[in-house]
Structure 1
């Protein structure tokens, strides 16, 4: 962060002010619509995996370029109004100082904390990128259809470990998805009109009643308590009752499977919360722009 623009005591005061204002604005949205917390977490994840944590996921498309927002994995992202409201409020306190990339990271943390999930220390000082390309989002974001080999390669490509994969996948304990993310497992898993044999048969039957072949938009809860940040995710993975193939794939690797087995009781919840915070800090360091690289956007949806 450009603390050189201010005297040390003044910067400390301004920093406290903007952090408090950011949390207050975020809290107003989450108190009215708690369901915004999962997509705000997802927005941070989708931002960091493409060009690093540079706010590129926030940029609008132009007549000459389709931005990341237009990519299929991002078309269900919501919560941009929260980022814009926070940016507007923070600009009134310290204009031209706090990047949109930092705001995405801070809002994700505060939103999860406000629904009684884990908290973590967000490192600040990111600058905003000026490039956003839809095809890069399509190619670089981990897919719900990936197997364990593909998932490990995807995380390794951005400097994250296999443990980070097991931990951050636990973010799927909250929120919703749509039939588009699970339909291949239900009706055409290997291209022969079959189903994914790794799915629990009762859960498979339930999903097939909800999602019809070719249907994309019906909403599905991510697990049995989609509003609560807890360790039920690991229980449902173990019981083969997850929506995504990428979640089920965690049972196909010794390290990720061991992590899951360690969190099958309530006693593992605090360890998971601690681990989640560490992995979120790791993720927040991906491809960060600092110094003279990038810019501090005046509006998050547009380059300066």
Structure 2
């Protein structure tokens, strides 16, 4: 009963946003998309890690209290905000959203939410990385609550398929969404801490997870020794700045970093979807777009912040 109540409590934080619209700012801030796109492009030109960072930031925002920009709020006094929670310590590129917000506020003060700016920035990040574009539904509001303790609700790299399915279902997301959104791991970098349990002291029988490709595991062990690997890590895949479907191919080659990645092989449905996406970039990108729109349409905010780092 307690588990059921917990699930209902989490789900109650999320509401599907029927009021969102792709032309929400058509009259009030018609240039919002170009302003955000410029901020993202300018940042990505000087730092190739920016697109992956913004996509991850949007995902981490939506999975806590809905897509309400609560991940952007700074800690204040005794309140430790989401961005300082354990899973979010490695989030970065908040300055890109600050820059976009400043430009948007200059053009249309008090109109566009930080949550909408983050959703647009995530889309633009995918496009800049060679991925698909889509019409982002807009009209989100910004939240006033941000708690580091709630970041423990995020799906962890160590999750098995049952834990992943439960986490996504609590947000109204299906197994199809789970497999498609996992493809976001085609971009970015992972620190050793997120996968070290697979290459060191895996269990009482073996040091390395037997589901890892042996040569791949050996290469990871060199980069991530037992000690002195605090800031070390590796790209999520060899083409980690390009939005492609190689991630799914790596799953079947046993060359993915996270337990949660290889977990997609553990159910017939998720395995079949992963195989479909491995064989067709077109199928993957179509599914990814649909699932991104669905995830980013989970709302929960109350205001339009003037500054994305503080409540009004």
Return the alpha-carbon distance in structure 2 between the equivalents of residues 112 and 33 of structure 1. 15
Residue 192 of structure 1, CA deviation: 6.5
Mapped to 1, the partners of 2:159 and 2:73 lie a distance apart of 27
1:210 Cα offset (Å): 1.1
With normalisation by structure 2, the TM-score equals 0.89
Is 2:220 the partner of 1:207?
A: yes
Indicate the residue corresponding to 2:3 in structure 1.
Answer: none
Q: Distance in 2 between matches of 1:164 and 1:227?
A: 22
Structure 1 position 264, deviation (Å): 2.8
Q: Does 2:208 align with 1:195? A: yes
Residue 252 of structure 1 is aligned with which of 266, 285, 292?
A: 266
CA distance in 2, matches of 1:15, 1:132: 27
1:278 and 2:290 are equivalent in the alignment: yes
| Corresponding residue of 2:310 | 302
> Would you say 1:65 and 2:79 are equivalent positions?
yes
Change (3 A) 1:166 1:203: same
Match of 2:179 among 166, 170, 173: 166
- Structure 2 unaligned blocks of 5 or more: 1-16
| Cα gap change, 1:236 to 1:18, in 2 (>3 Å) | same
1:101 corresponds to? 115
Q: Could you tell me how far 1:22 is from its partner in structure 2?
A: 1.6
Q: 1:177 — aligned with what?
A: 190
Deviation at 1:32, TM superposition (A): 2.2
The alignment partner of 2:277 has SS state of coil
TM-score (norm 1): 0.91
CA RMSD in angstroms, aligned pairs only: 1.9
Matches within 5 A, 1:15-54: 15-54=29-68
How far apart are the structure 2 equivalents of 1:73 and 1:63? 21
SS in 1 for 2:92: coil
Q: Which runs of 5+ in 1 are unaligned?
A: 4-8
What is the CA–CA distance in structure 2 between the aligned matches of 1:54 and 1:199, rounded to whole Å?
37
Shift of 1:64: 1.6
The 2-side partners of 1:209 and 1:272 are apart by: 32
